[in-house]
Structure 1
Amino acid sequence: MERRTFGKTDMKVSVLGFGGAEVGYSEATPETVDRLLGTALDAGLNVIDTAECYNISEELIGSTMSHRRNDFYLFTKCGHSSGLSREDWDPRMLELSIDRSLKRLKTDYVDTIQLHSCSEEILRKGDVIEVLERAKEKGKTRYIGYSGDSTDALYAIKTGAFDTFETSVNIADQEAIELTIPEAVKRGMGIIAKRPIANVAWNYDSKPDNDYYHEYWERFKELPYNFLKGDLTEAVEKALRFTLTVPGVHTAIVGTAKANRWIENAELANKGNLSEDEYHKIRSIFQEAVQPDWVGQV
C-alpha cells in the first residue's frame, strides 16, 4: 500500500487508515477486532485512529493490538469527559483523559493526541492547547493535533500550535478543500481525512435511522453524481479515491466492524488517485449544487 510523508512529522502513513469509532459504538468482540486489525496490519495498514468518546474503542484496540504497537501509528483524541467527573474541556479533565487513553490503549505514548472538535471560543483561552503541549513534553504523545471542521478548524490551524489536522472531506463534504486544508498544507501539517466515503449515505432508499448519516443523505438528493447509480463497489471506489486525490490529504480513515472490510477498501485505494478530469468533474458537480449551510460535518 502507498505511504505518504505525513506533513512535517517523521511518519510515513498508509493512505488508508482505520477509524475506531464503529468497533467501539457497535461493541465489537475482541475476537473480531483482533482479526480485523491483525489482517489489516499484515496487508499494509499503519494508522489506527480512535478517541476517548468512542465507547469501548480504545479498550478494544489496546487489548488486541498492544503486542504489535511498533507496527502502527496510534492516534487518539481528547476533549469530552466521557465518564470522568469534570466538565468537557476542563484542563485537569484533559490531563486525566490523556492518561486514561494511554491506560486503555496499553501504551506509554500515542503518536498524535488531538483536540476533539474544540470550538474557537475554547481554543482562544489557550489552556487546552497547553495541556497537549505538556503531554508532548512528558513523552505521552509525539505530536499534537486538532480534529474538527469549518471556522473552528481554521482558527486552530492558524494558531500554529498543531502538527496534525483531521477533518471531514468527501464527495458530499468539500468545504475543507478550500477553507482549511490549504492553510494546513502551508504549515506542513499532517492531514487526515475522516468520513472519506460519506458514510455511503447515498445507498439508502429512505432516510437512515442513524442521524449521523442524515446530513449527507439529504445532500445526495441534490448531488447528481451518475456514478452513484451503478455498482456499489465501483461507487465506493470512486468516492474513496476522490478523497485521496484531494491535494494535501495524506491518509483517509475508514471505520468498520466487519473483519474483511478494511482489506476490501484497501484494494480500492490501491488503484491510486483519480485522473485530473475525474477529480475536477466531481468538484464541479459539488460546486454547482452546494448550498450555504453545507458546512463541514463534525
Structure 2
Amino acid sequence: MEKRKYGNTGMNVSVLGFGGSEIGFQDATVETVDKLLGSALDAGLNVIDTAECYKISEELIGKTVSKRRDDYYLFTKCGHSSGYELPDWDPKLLEMSIDRSLKRLQTDYVDVIHLHSCSEELLRKGEVIEVLQRAKEQGKTRFIGYSGDHKAALYAVQSGAFDSLETSVSIADQEAIELTIPEAARRGMGVVIKRPIANAAWRTGQKPESAYHHVYWDRLQELRYDFLEGDLKNSVGIALRFTLSIPGVHTAIVGTANPSRWLENAKLTDQGPLPKEQFDAIRSRWKETAAADWVGKG
C-alpha cells in the first residue's frame, strides 16, 4: 500500500487508515477486531485512529494489536466527558482522558492526540492546547493535533500550535479543500481525512436510517454525480480515490467492523489517484451546486 510523508512529523503513513468508531459503537467482539486489524496490518495499513468517546473502541484495539505496537501509528482524540463527571473540555478532564486512553490502548504513548471538535472559542483561550502540549512534553504523545472542521479548524491550523489536522473531506464535503488543507500543507502539518466516502450515504438508494448520515444524503441528492448510479464498489472507489487525490492529504481513515470490507477498500486505493478530468468534474459539480451553508461536517 502506498505510503505518504505525514507533514514534518517524520511518519510515513499508509494512504488508507483504520477508523475505530464502528467497532466501538457496534460492540464488535475481540475475535472480530483481532481478525480485522490483524489482516489490515498484514495488508500494509499502519494508521489506526480512534477516540475516547467511541465506546469500547480503545479497549478493543488494546486487547488485539497492542502486541504489534511497532507496526502502526496510533491516533486518538480527547474532549468529551465519556464517563467522567466533568464538563467537556475541562482541562482536568483532558488530562484524565489521555491517561485513560493510554491504559485502554495498552501503550505508553500514542503518535498523535487530537482535540476532538473543540470550539474556536475554547481554542482561543488556550488551556485545552496547553494540556496537549504538556502531554507531549511528558512523552504521552509524539505529536498533537486538532480534529474538526470549518472556522475552528482554520484557527487551529493558523495558530501554529498543532502538528496534525484531522478534518472531513469527501465528494459531499469539500470546504476544507480550499479553507484549511492548503494552509496546513504550507505549515508542514500532517493531514488525515475522516468520513472520506461520505459514509457511503447513497449505498441503498434510500435515505439512511441514521440521522448522522442525512446531511450527506441530502447534499448528494442535489449534486447528482452520475457515477453514484452504477455499481456500489465502483462508486465507493471513485469517492475514496477523489479524497486521496486532493493535494495535501496524507491518509484517509475508513471505519468498518467487517474484515473483508476493509481489504476491499484497500484494493480500491491501489488504483491510484483519479484521472484529472474526473477529479475536476467532481470539483466543478461541487462549486456549481454547493450552498453557502455546506460547511465541513465532522
**TM tier relative to shorter chain:** over 0.9
Q: Specify the alignment match of 2:216 in structure 1.
A: 216
Q: Counterpart of 2:8?
A: 8
Q: Partners in 2 of 1:224 and 1:291 — Cα distance?
A: 14
For 2:202, what is the secondary structure of its paired residue?
helix
1:190-246, Cα deviation, whole Å (9 max, x unpaired): 000110111110123332111110000001110121111011111000000000001
1:95 matched to which residue of 2?
95
Q: Which residue of 2 aligns with 1:195?
A: 195
For the pair 1:206 / 2:206, whether they are aligned, the reply is yes
The answer on 1:181 being equivalent to 2:181 is yes
Flag as ranges the 4+ runs of structure 1 deviating above 3 A.
none
Q: 1:202-281 to 2 correspondence within 5 Å? A: 202-281=202-281
Whole-Å Cα distance in 2 between the matches of residues 238 and 206 of structure 1? Answer: 20
Counterpart of 1:224, as a letter, is R
Cα separation, 2, equivalents of 1:146 and 1:95 = 16
Aligned pairs (5 A) from 1:18-167:
18-167=18-167
SS at match of 1:291: coil
| Other structure's SS at 1:191 match | strand
Between 160-169 and 198-207, the greater mean CA deviation after superposition: 198-207
Secondary structure of the corresponding residue to residue 271 of structure 1: coil
Match of 2:297 in 1: 297
Cα distance in 2 between the residues matched to 1:139 and 1:84: 24
State the alpha-carbon separation in 2 of the partners of residues 167 and 61 from structure 1: 22
User: For residue 11 of structure 1, what is the amino acid of its counterpart?
Assistant: M
Q: Deviations over 1:115-171 (max 9, x none)?
A: 000100000110100000000000000000000000010011111000000000000
> CA–CA distance in 2 between the matches of 1:3 and 1:141?
22
DSSP-derived class of the 2:216 partner: helix
In structure 2, how many angstroms separate the alpha carbons of the residues matched to 1:73 and 1:80?
Answer: 22
Per-residue deviation, 1:84? 1.1
Cα distance in structure 1, aligned partners of 2:262 and 2:56: 19
1:85, distance to aligned residue in structure 2 (A): 1.7
Among the aligned pairs, what percent are the same residue? 67
Shift of the alpha carbon at 1:262? 1.0
Structure-1 separation of matches of 2:19 and 2:235? 20
Deviation (angstroms), 1:14: 0.1
Q: How far apart are 1:261 and its partner, in Å?
A: 1.1
Kindly provide the amino acid, as one letter, of the partner of residue 42 in structure 2: D
**AA aligned opposite 2:53:** C
Once residues 75 and 203 of structure 2 are traced to their aligned partners in structure 1, the CA distance between those partners, rounded to angstroms, is 30
Question: Given the two structures, how large is their TM-score scaled by the length of structure 1?
Answer: 0.99
Instruction: Supply the distance in 1 between the matched residues of 2:163 and 2:45 (Cα, whole angstroms).
Output: 21
How large is the Cα RMSD of the aligned pairs? Answer: 0.6
Q: What TM-score comes out, normalization by structure 2 length?
A: 0.99
Between the aligned partners of 2:286 and 2:159, the Cα distance in structure 1 is: 30
Q: Secondary structure at the match of 2:222?
A: coil
How many residue pairs align between the two structures?
298
Query: What do the CA deviations read for 1:84-132 (whole angstroms, capped 9, x no partner)?
Result: 1211100011000000000000000000000000100000110100000
Secondary structure at the aligned position of 2:136 is classed as: helix
Aligned-partner Cα distance in 1 for 2:51–2:2: 25
Q: Distance in 1 between matches of 2:260 and 2:110?
A: 26
Code of the residue aligned with 1:273 in structure 2: it is: P
- Structure 1: stretches of 5+ with no match in the other structure: none
Deviations 1:33-89 (A, max 9, x none): 000000000000000000010010000000111100000000000000100121110
